[in-house]
Amino acid sequence: MTDSDALDDDAGLDPAAAFSLLGEATRLEIVTALNGLRAGTSMAFSDLYDQVDVADSAQFNYHLDRLVPHFVEKGEGGYALTQRGSRIARAVTAGSYTESPAREPFETAGECYACGEAGLVARYEDEQFVVDCPDCGEVVLRLGVPPTVVRDRDGVDLVRAVDRWARAGVSQATDGVCPSCGGRMNAALSEDAPESGTFDVVGRFECGVCGRSAVVGVTTVASQHPVVRTFHRRRGAPIDDRPYWEYSQHVAHEHVDVASGDRVRVSFFEDGDACHATLDDDLDVVEVEVVPGGAPAEQ
């Protein structure tokens, strides 16, 4: 399929053709230049040409035409990005496809759920944020994180950004919206837990549009429920006051009872009280019960 074939396809843009259209430096320059426009405005041909490093106007016009109508739209006042073009431009500007930052290991708060030692170590490499225990070697957390979250952040600032980014993604997924493309996110309770983890059962999310998939602990899913959040807040222990991986329950599969093949109960304990949340096989919280004085004696 050629560039022009892709432009004539009324049913949509073939993925291979889309990457072919953008796989040229001048076209990416055009998309990036238009990304600076305010919403509802456009740029004249001559102004756009002045911002792009190209040998002559005929060559520039050729590349610009290849981007219309899928990535660039032409109006009476000039040229502007389409929604698809804006997403591409934002990704390029953010360095999503070009940057690969790394952060040397640094100490972070929290205790190892495996050996109980404090002094965990965090690092970022190969687009993975990893927290592990230097004493026993246990990996407490391994999370895929885009370079944009890491850029210009270190230490405590980086930890907070990763935590907020991860929480936002889980919140969107549990609401049925893909954090990547906005497509419908399908959720299911699964006993196919990662071998490297401590979970007997996990929540699996998969987007029916872009195919993004994620494995999330059922405790993390249950903690999103308003009643569970209120339970913690009223007892002076809001669950947002520190990164979720600092709560051993989120990473060690504590207080999770697989009641049957299609239901699981997660229990939270604070200030002597208990909060039990039951999830069905679609990861919907179908029941929440707060029991005053219901915490085990050792709590």
User: Residue 14 has what pLDDT?
Assistant: 61
Separation of alpha carbons 92 and 190, rounded Å? 36
179-234 pLDDT per residue, tens: 888 899 999 998 876 655 567 788 999 998 878 888 888 999 999 999 999 999 99
Residue 155's SS3 state is: helix
Which run of H or of E encompasses 148?
helix 147-150
- The CATH code of domain 3-94 reads 1.10.10.10
pLDDT in tens, the chain (299 residues): 344 444 433 345 566 666 677 778 888 889 888 887 887 889 999 999 998 988 888 889 999 998 998 899 998 889 999 888 887 777 776 655 555 678 899 999 888 888 888 889 999 988 899 999 999 999 988 888 888 888 889 999 999 999 999 999 999 999 999 988 889 999 999 887 665 556 778 899 999 887 888 888 899 999 999 999 999 999 999 988 888 888 888 887 789 998 766 899 999 999 999 999 999 999 999 999 999 998 886 64
Give the span between the Cα atoms of 136 and 274, in whole angstroms. Answer: 31
pLDDT of residue 201: 86
pTM reported for the whole predicted model: 0.69
Burial zone of 74 (CB within 10 Å; 0-12 exposed, 13-18 middle, 19+ buried):
middle
